[in-house]
Structure 1
Amino acid sequence: MSVQGQLLDITVIGCKNLKDTEWISRQDPYVILEYAGNKYRTKTDTDGGRNPSFNEKYMLSLIEGLREINVAVWNSNTLTADDFIGSGKIMLQKVLIDGYHDSTWPLTARSGRRAGEIRIILHYKNPKGAQKVSSAAPVHESLPVYPPASPAYYPPPVYAAASPYPPSSPSDFSCYPPVYAPYPPPGPTVYSTYTPPAAFGAQSPYPPQAYPPSTYPPQGYGCYVARPAGHYPPPYY
């Protein structure tokens, strides 16, 4: 997979054991990173001396085929030109495979002597190692093969021994048939003689009653005696 246009995070932590370019005061180092014609400068660590600290982070756009970053350390001066301390190269092969690389890189002076070292942390989000792991075919574990289980052995069933006596025949037992009492069947049912109703308009054998009754109107109930007015309480009867 091409790394063209991919982003690389680079963090400049600091330097150790730098060559001292100052005779009286402490030097003020700073770092310049250069990649594909672009330069990135850290802040100046005033009075950082031989062991300056920066802790600055940058993001670089990778170029296909370019696998190194140039780094240089300088001492900042106020009245004169800045002093060159040392330079080096940061290789990117490991971070492009693993995705992370924290290491120190040596610095060399113009004379070729060692001028100290610089610590840089690299972080890449799409490493090739992760792509290989994800594209690998899954491994299927084979299941253990066990021998077939032998059939379970059961002892044959035990039957009861035959009796030495002959079996008894059904004739040995007395037979008592049930005796049912004679029951005469019921006689024929006798129904009463049906008398048809009299024809309409036939004469009744009974004489009709006189109408209205002879005792009309009805007789009264008892006698009512009028009481004289103005007497209270009423007289005793």
Structure 2
Amino acid sequence: MGMQGGYLQGGYLQVTLHYAMDIKDCDWFGKQDPYVKIKLGAREATSSICRNGGRRPIWNEVFNFELTTETTLDLTIMDEDKLMRDDLIGTCSISLATIRQQGHEVVNAPVTDGKEKYKHQGFIQLTLNFVPSAAASAASRFQHTSSPRSEQQPSGVYQLAPVGPTMSHPYPAFYANNGCGRGYNG
């Protein structure tokens, strides 16, 4: 699925940003307002801001990218500040080797502290789905989507049509009704 004749196969990457847990807290007073910048090569998308998300924000947002030769997905977690520059909470990079081979992967990526590169603090959960270009032959399977911050949405972004059964990703009980994303009411 991933390599074809020694070259990386292109296709479409769907990134579902679920939640983060135990990330660094950048706010002295109150709870931080985290958001995520998702970068694939030169293309970047930005999640909505999880107001008062604190150290355990939930987004439950889907982002779609055209995947060509990129080998990593880079995430930057930020804290929105109204009066000052936004704070860097942390970063992580995810290899796309497994997703190109398997087509589907649930990832709990460790978040590296923004100031101390080798210090891990918490993780972020994503689901990655890859559809190779050959499997996506019918253009009608893809619809253009816009994100909450549409002015920052890259132009080559497509919505994937469902490809079989969906997975449920249960969240810990403390995520219920936290005011961010959809939460989990299980």
Match of 1:42 among 47, 50, 64: 47
Once the two structures are superposed, residues 123-142 of structure 1 have per-residue CA deviations (whole angstroms, 9 ceiling, x without a partner) of 11249xxxxxxxxxxxxxxx
Conserved in 2, the CA contact under 8 Å of 1:17 and 1:117? Answer: yes
Bigger relative contact order, structure 1 or 2 (CA pairs below 8 A, ≥6 apart) = 2
Conserved in 2, the CA contact under 8 Å of 1:32 and 1:39? Answer: yes
SS at match of 1:125: strand
Shift, 1:89, TM fit: 0.2
| 2:34 matched residue in structure 1 | 29
Larger radius of gyration: 1
| 2:112 matched residue in structure 1 | 108
Identity across matched positions, percent = 24
Uncovered stretches (5+) of structure 2, i.e. residues with no partner: 134-186
Shift, 1:86, TM fit: 0.3
Shift, 1:116, TM fit: 1.7
Shift, 1:84, TM fit: 0.4
SS at match of 1:94: helix
Supply the RMSD in Å over aligned alpha carbons: 1.7
Write out the 4+ residue segments of structure 1 that deviate beyond 6 Å after TM superposition.
Answer: none
TM-score by length of 1: 0.51
| 2:153 matched residue in structure 1 | none
Shift, 1:115, TM fit: 2.6
Distance 1:34 1:46 in 2: 22
Uncovered stretches (5+) of structure 1, i.e. residues with no partner: 128-237
Is 1:51 the counterpart of 2:69? The answer is no
Shift, 1:14, TM fit: 1.0
Identify, as 1 or 2, the structure richer in strand.
2
Conserved in 2, the CA contact under 8 Å of 1:36 and 1:63? Answer: no
Conserved in 2, the CA contact under 8 Å of 1:18 and 1:50? Answer: yes
TM-score by length of 2: 0.64
